[in-house]
Amino acid sequence: MTMEIERDQRRFKQIVRGRIRENLRKYITHGEMIGRRGKDAVSIPVPKLDVPRFRFGKNGSGGVGQGDGEEGDVVGKPGEGPEGSGKAGSEPGSGHLMEVDVSLEELAAMLGDELELPRIEPKGTANVIAEKSKYNSIRQTGPESLRHFKRTYLNALRRQISTGKYEPDNPKVVPIKRDVQYRSWNDIPKPQVNAVAIYLMDVSGSMTDEQKEIVRTEAFWIDTWLASQYKGLETRYIIHDAMAKEVDEHTFYHTRESGGTRISSAYKVCDELIEKEFPVADWNIYCFQFSDGDNWGDDNSQAFDLLGEKL
């Protein structure tokens, strides 16, 4: 019985994932999922699934009745009769949606399959192995500072009970040398892969709220994909009008200025940030710029120079 339930659950999950894949392109263009995002998962609305079952049909002919007329006479036509005055019903309608939690890792895999995205090949210290110490074992010898009190006590208690030396009226447990155990560590090799996503956005008066919502949606999917490729992804945010500065995520999406636009100011801040915190030789750097395309005419040449030489 348990195996049948587990099989049904797996089948249900496959159907739900299939529905999500069918509608993935629609989800990509909608920002409503961002509000349903948790730490490691996101809630996705999918059409309600009906469990297959037998249904009794309506009897369309036959039956017994009384009154005038012979067999085969038409006694009424569909639609005839006085109109009724009804009230609001209480039964549920159709077309309901249910929300399904999907891990961001699984969502990224669907995104990669649907858009045929290539696997990213990390650079920098991706092949450097760092030794990380973790206390995950027990030894018979070691310093007193690493003595495992619980294991030592249990060893002494078991020994005294098995030898008949344990006295319930005087429950005194005294460990001897062979009872004592110590916490120990193992060196775990761990590849170091560093990646950062830097978002640059024009927040001048020409950028509308609708355009900013598009930025938010696109940034969500970029983060989801890159996070599936790297263990530990950093994100940084830069806003600009005629001047640029680094800000936090909330400020990035909720700032609007009334000044002009100098894209080169954002490129300068981005270049300074990379040189200071993210050496090109060690980091996989992804820069994404969002703008309505407008820029101060005299700034174009400087922006192109910075983009070509620095970024």
Strand order in the sheet with 284-290: 244-247, 233-240, 195-202, 284-290
Tally the residues of the chain.
311
pLDDT of residue 98: 61
pLDDT of residue 72: 60
Report the amino acid identity of residue 83: E
pLDDT of residue 139: 85
Exposure b/e, 105-127, CB count within 10 A at least 16 = b: eebbebbbeeeeeeebebbbbee
Give the residue range(s) of CATH 3.40.50.410 domains in the chain: 195-309
pLDDT of residue 229: 82
Q: Residues of the chain whose pLDDT is less than 50?
A: 35, 93-94, 127-128
Tell me the two tokens of residue 20.
Answer: 């999500």
Tell me if 185 sits within 8 A of 137, measured CB to CB. yes
What are 212-254's pLDDT values in tens digits? 888 888 888 888 888 888 877 889 999 998 899 999 988 988 8
Q: Identify the CATH class of 195-309.
A: alpha beta
Which residue in 158, 156, 161 sits closest to 179, CA to CA?
A: 156
